[in-house]
Amino acid sequence: MPAKSQAQQKAAGAALSAKRGKTKTSELKGASKSMYDSMSEKQLEEFAETDRKNLPKKKTSQ
């Protein structure tokens, strides 16, 4: 499942980095911390690899 916004893609990237041990989990905040706790590495990869070019900065409510 691709990310729906640039902010979501960025948070997934931070959570993925922590899952892989490249950054400390204590440095995660907000959405990235929640994603780290609730998503698998494969799910985070799918969100993080989404091309940011055509995504809105923030997800709009629907």
Residue 60 belongs to some domain of the structure: no
Range of the domain at 10: 6-48
pLDDT of residue 18: 97
Residue 53 belongs to some domain of the structure: no
Q: Give the helix, strand, coil percentages of the chain, each rounded to 5.
A: 55, 0, 45
**Tens digit of each residue's pLDDT, the chain (62 residues):** 788 899 999 999 999 999 999 999 999 999 999 999 999 999 999 999 988 888 888 877 65
Domain count, the chain: 1
Residue 57 belongs to some domain of the structure: no
Residue 37 belongs to some domain of the structure: yes
Residue 34 belongs to some domain of the structure: yes
Q: Is the dihedral of CA 3, 39, 12, 31 positive or negative?
A: positive
Residue 39 belongs to some domain of the structure: yes
Residue 40 belongs to some domain of the structure: yes
pLDDT of residue 61: 65
